[in-house]
């Protein structure tokens, strides 16, 4: 059973802007928590890492750009800030840009998974 107040409180402790995210969800906490559940199950971060490892710059851009929007909508500013350099470096879809992103992609992957584990404690 989901404890929406505990997951919201946990994300606030993780410096997520839950207030902004709730505004985007028309202050509907149940909707926000439902979106968090979808986020926790979404494979985008795994697909981003796979695309990076396959040196597929177009897919890296696609998945990182998609995640940037998700992070914004869910109030996950820290993840958003980690993701922006990846999006910007791959926007022109030049494969040589991937060489400078290894640490950034790995760090985003690890932090994303950590936040997912926080969410999964309560959902």
Prediction pTM value: 0.94
Task: Give the pLDDT score at 83.
Answer: 98
The tokens describing 7, both together, are: 């997951």
Domains present along the chain, CATH in parentheses: 4-120 (1.20.120.160)
**pLDDT band at 3, cuts 50/70/90?**
confident
Q: What is the pLDDT of residues 25-66, one digit of tens each?
A: 999 999 999 999 999 999 999 999 999 999 999 999 999 999
Task: Give the pLDDT score at 2.
Answer: 63
- Alpha helices by DSSP H, listed for the chain, are 4-13, 18-24, 29-41, 44-53, 57-73, 77-90, 102-120
Task: Give the pLDDT score at 1.
Answer: 46
Q: What is the pLDDT of residues 4-31, one digit of tens each?
A: 899 999 999 999 999 999 999 999 999 9
Q: What is the pLDDT of residues 63-103, one digit of tens each?
A: 999 999 999 999 999 999 999 999 999 999 999 999 999 89
Residues in the chain: 123
């Amino acid at each position: 059973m989901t404890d929406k107040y505990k997951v919201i409180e946990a994300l606030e402790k993780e410096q997520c802007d839950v207030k902004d995210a709730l505004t985007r969800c028309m202050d509907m906490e149940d909707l926000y928590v439902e979106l968090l559940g979808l986020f926790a199950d979404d494979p985008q971060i795994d697909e981003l890492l796979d695309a990076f490892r396959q040196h597929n710059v177009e897919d890296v851009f696609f998945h990182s750009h998609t995640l940037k929007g998700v992070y914004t909508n869910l109030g996950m500013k820290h993840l958003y800030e980690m993701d922006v350099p990846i999006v910007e470096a791959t926007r022109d879809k030049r494969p040589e840009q991937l060489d400078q992103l290894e640490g950034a992609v790995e760090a985003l992957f690890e932090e994303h998974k950590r936040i997912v584990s926080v969410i999964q404690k309560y959902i």
